[in-house]
Amino acid sequence: MNDYTNGQNIAASSEKGIHTDFQQNMTYGEYLQLDQLLSAQSSMSGEHDEALFIIIHQVSELWMKLILHELDAAISHVNQDKLQPAFKQLARVSKIQSQIIQAWDVLATMTPADYLKFRDTLGNASGFQSYQYRMIEFGLGYKTKHVLKIYEKEPALHKELVLAFNKPSIYDAAIQKLARSGLYIETGVLDRDVTTVYESNISVKTAWKTVYQNTDAYWELYQLAEKLVDIEDCLQQWRFRHMKTVERIIGFRQGTGGSSGVHYLKKVLDHYFFPELWELRTDI
């Protein structure tokens, strides 16, 4: 036994209160359902690097589940004019996004030769079909109805996505908060169809500009705006790392889901969720 292991055992034996009998008590593994979680990495090809591919995407989906949990709570709090807890939840979303961004660095260790050994086993499955990612887009205000068709195979899931599609986004909630705070917002924006893609509006831009030029008077709204900018900034970084990782591994080949691959990923980089918050930076 080496000195390091021996040291660990001595330290553990000195902790007399450590529980070792779990015949009647719940274990760490049971609490986290690790038997179910760790048995969900089934390779279809048997190739070594398929494990990396599966685990990276599963971990990202777990993080996205937490993003949705925090984003839904933040929307609820903004609607209730409880901005302080919303700030914590939105800040947490940004930290989660940093984890997903860094995951691309791990996936980028896969070479084209590694990926091509199992790519055909994916069939038409693709990250493009991630329903949680779509729900995040919906929660941020990017609503594209045609993507709902992808999920018709699973009626319960499709119903959940339709509900998310029809809900106001965090930006809708923020704009309503601007109006409740006495800033002028056009009625057409306040009553807009929230299932449509949001487009920049001069009254919203003017309201945010007022906030940025009078931060002492509108400190909480200013904080809200910056939390939203943080999230969009991180999402753009996530999209960029995704695009460059795909380009590094498969070049400009068509994606397994039928998209144009890198060309499609480059196009979505140009989309803004909160356009006025970026536009006003030129004006102030």
Instruction: Extract the annotated binding site for heme.
Output: 242
Phi, psi (deg, nearest 5) at residue 59: -60, -40
Which two tokens mark 232? 């969009």
For residues 200 and 8, give the distance between their C-alpha atoms in angstroms, rounded to a whole number: 60
Q: Which residue has the tokens 């709902």?
A: 148
CA distances to 91, 139, 179, 208, 209 from 222, in Å = 14, 20, 14, 8, 10
Residues annotated within a binding site: 53-57, 115, 119, 242, 256
Overall residue count recorded for the chain in this entry: 284
Look-up: residue for tokens 């487009």?
Answer: 199
Within the chain, what is the greatest distance between any pair of CA atoms?
A: 75
- Helices 131-140 and 170-180: angle between axes, nearest 10 degrees: 20
Closest CA to 54 of 7, 133, 110: 110
Helix (H) or strand (E) holding 179: helix 170-180
> Residues marked as binding for substrate?
53-57, 115, 119, 256
CB atoms within 10 A of CB 40: 9
The three-state secondary structure class of 128 is: helix
Contact 139, 69 (CB under 8 A): no
Q: Are 229 and 251 in contact (CB under 8 A)?
A: no
